[in-house]
Amino acid sequence: MEQRDTRTEPPTLGVGMVGYAFMGAAHSQGWRTVRHVFDLPLRPVLAAIAGRDPHAVRAAAAKYGWAAAETDWRALLAREDVHLVDVCTPGDSHAEIAVAALEAGKHVLCEKPLANSVAEAEAMVAAAEAARERGQLAMVGFNYRRVPALSHARRLIADGRLGTLRHVRVTYLQDWLVDPGFPLTWRLQREHAGSGALGDLGAHIVDLAQFLAGEALVGVSAQTETFVRERPRLGGASAGLTASGGTGHGPVTVDDAAVFTGRFASGALAAFEATRMASGRKNALRLEVNGEFGSLAFDLERLNELSFHDHREPSATAGFRRIIVTEAEHPYLEGWWPPGHALGYEHTFTHQARDLVEAIASGTDPAPSFADGLQVQRVLAAVEESAQRNAVYTPVQEARAGVR
């Protein structure tokens, strides 16, 4: 049998993952694929995956290609073959795992939102800054930054193709909570998820708006609502009664939808909508950026396309034109297929893995950093605070009178 010359291979980067559900599967795909697509300075190896259920985590390891399974995330930190810890758990455990991993000398990738509170996110940033001095790097996983069309949009805006920005509008619509019979999962409980559509979807669109604009939001005004306030507990009525001695339902303690406006440091305005109650919308993320010279628009359901309008063109021929973002010179496309051959959602996690591996190899700060994640967390907290203040005032007389 022909022997493989390992001297030509780059050093390995052992990855340990905590969590094996939706994001665990997506991140596994990225780690499993990245070295087969891009020429990397380090070779990611799927060393071990951790989860509390021994049968489920072993099944996940076999399915996703991990070499070993652990039932305690702390075991990953003790493994010498794990150099990077990828945190794909619910938000209530992000801070504990990420801080411990950094203190144990591991690099860290943590899923968004960075934490469930500003205080937790601040602690994570402090741990990341201390670890940076020891050579460990930390990144938060906002994967939509890695959609080639959105990375290309960022380039166009940074190059001044839109001129001074004026408006950013972003919506993220899903419908998986429309049915009031949908069970009370961890994503509907504040103690686990931190918030509802705001943290789950709103974190993405806040990060994207700031990423594209290249500047931070400095003020918001918001409204949130929970439309279905009780849901069946997992396992049905036999799983337990409510605090009021009820029927096996439990309270929903997060928002179903959030709408808010914002202002960037430059004075540009922004409008956001995040909901998991938009019937018929499965994963509809749409945005538009307007500037003095033109506009850009994007629809995640047409992920390989970017719409661009140059306002300086003659009105007789001006209009939005479609850019198919599949050329080799477009972001990330050098490793994939010939022009016109489309990519999909899964590829964003491969691109995320590539960017982090290259940052670790070069010792440069990856983006988005934990500090970027903290900035998003501060915006989310401001949205919740604004929504609470705005809810105090109810125009009772006008509401009773109706609209004429």
Q: What is the CATH number of the domain that holds 42?
A: 3.40.50.720
Q: What is the DSSP string of 270-330?
A: EEEEEES--TT-SSEEEEEEEESSEEEEEEGGGTTEEEEEETTS-TTT-S-EEEE--STTS
**Per-residue pLDDT, 234:** 84
Q: Are residues 310 and 166 in the same domain?
A: yes
Work out the pLDDT band at 8, boundaries 50, 70, 90: confident
| Average pLDDT along the chain | 93
**Per-residue pLDDT, 333:** 97
Q: What is the bridge-based pairing of β-strands 230-232 and 249-251?
A: antiparallel
Q: How far is CA 277 from CA 89, 253, 270, 273, in A?
A: 24, 16, 22, 11
Please enumerate in sequence order all residues whose Cβ is within 8 A of that of 347, keeping only pairs 6 or more positions apart, or say none.
Answer: 146, 332, 336
Under a CB-based contact definition with an 8 Å cutoff, are residues 187 and 201 in contact?
no
Q: Is the pLDDT of residue 37 over 70?
A: yes
Q: Are residues 129 and 196 in the same domain?
A: no
Mean pLDDT over 181-185 rounds to 96
Under a CB-based contact definition with an 8 Å cutoff, are residues 228 and 257 in contact?
no
Work out the pLDDT band at 109, boundaries 50, 70, 90: very high
Q: Are residues 324 and 381 in the same domain?
A: yes
Whether residue 213 is contained in a domain is answered as yes
Please enumerate in sequence order all residues whose Cβ is within 8 A of that of 388, keeping only pairs 6 or more positions apart, or say none.
Answer: none
Mean pLDDT over 102-113 rounds to 98
Query: Which residues does residue 219 pair with via DSSP β-bridges, in sequence order?
Result: 263
**Per-residue pLDDT, 156:** 98
Q: Is the pLDDT of residue 236 over 80?
A: no
Q: Are residues 38 and 171 in the same domain?
A: no
Mean pLDDT over 143-156 rounds to 98
- CATH number of the domain residue 281 falls in: 3.30.360.10
Q: Which two tokens stand for residue 88?
A: 């794909």
Q: Name which of 6-10, 217-221, 280-284, 289-293 the model is least confident about.
A: 6-10
Tell me the residue length of the chain.
404
Q: Which two tokens stand for residue 128?
A: 């990341």
Measure the CA–CA gap between 46 and 70, rounded to whole angstroms: 13
**Per-residue pLDDT, 68:** 98
Given 143, 178, 200, the domain boundary residue is: 143
Mean pLDDT over 392-402 rounds to 49
Determine the longest span between alpha carbons in the chain, in angstroms. Answer: 85
* 255-279: pLDDT as tens digits: 999 999 999 999 999 999 999 999 9
Q: Which run of H or E residues covers position 101?
A: helix 94-103
Given 110, 143, 176, the domain boundary residue is: 143
Whether residue 403 is contained in a domain is answered as no
Q: Are residues 63 and 153 in the same domain?
A: no
Whether residue 355 is contained in a domain is answered as no
**Per-residue pLDDT, 273:** 98
Whether residue 395 is contained in a domain is answered as no
Whether residue 226 is contained in a domain is answered as yes
3-state secondary structure of 70: strand
3-state secondary structure of 15: strand
Give the global pTM. Answer: 0.92
Q: Are residues 157 and 133 in the same domain?
A: no
* 55-84: pLDDT as tens digits: 999 999 999 999 999 999 999 999 999 999
* 299-357: pLDDT as tens digits: 999 999 999 999 999 999 999 999 999 999 999 999 999 999 999 999 999 999 999 99
Q: What is the bridge-based pairing of β-strands 294-299 and 249-251?
A: unpaired
Whether residue 399 is contained in a domain is answered as no
Q: Which run of H or E residues covers position 219?
A: strand 217-225
Mean pLDDT over 144-154 rounds to 98
Q: What angle do CA 17, 22, 28 make, to 5 degrees?
A: 40
Domain that holds residue 74: 6-143
Measure the CA–CA gap between 94 and 71, rounded to whole angstroms: 17
Q: How far is CA 374 from CA 9, 329, 363, in A?
A: 37, 32, 22
Q: Are residues 136 and 158 in the same domain?
A: no
3-state secondary structure of 171: strand
**Per-residue pLDDT, 395:** 52
Q: Are residues 171 and 138 in the same domain?
A: no
Q: Which two tokens stand for residue 154?
A: 């960022």
**Per-residue pLDDT, 394:** 52
Percentage of the chain exceeding pLDDT 70: 92
Whether residue 360 is contained in a domain is answered as no
**Per-residue pLDDT, 249:** 93
Measure the CA–CA gap between 178 and 147, rounded to whole angstroms: 28
Q: Name which of 89-98, 280-289, 365-374, 383-392 the model is least confident about.
A: 383-392
Number of domains in the chain: 2
Question: What burial class does residue 349 get, using C-beta atoms within 10 Å of its C-beta: 0-12 exposed, 13-18 middle, 19+ buried?
Answer: buried
Q: Is the pLDDT of residue 243 over 70?
A: no
**Per-residue pLDDT, 400:** 44
Q: Are residues 213 and 267 in the same domain?
A: yes
Q: Which two tokens stand for residue 120?
A: 């937790």
Q: Are residues 131 and 166 in the same domain?
A: no
Q: Are residues 73 and 214 in the same domain?
A: no
Whether residue 362 is contained in a domain is answered as no
Cα dihedral across residues 57, 59, 60, 64: positive or negative = positive
Q: Are residues 255 and 373 in the same domain?
A: yes
Measure the CA–CA gap between 299 and 289, rounded to whole angstroms: 12
* 162-182: pLDDT as tens digits: 999 999 999 999 999 999 999
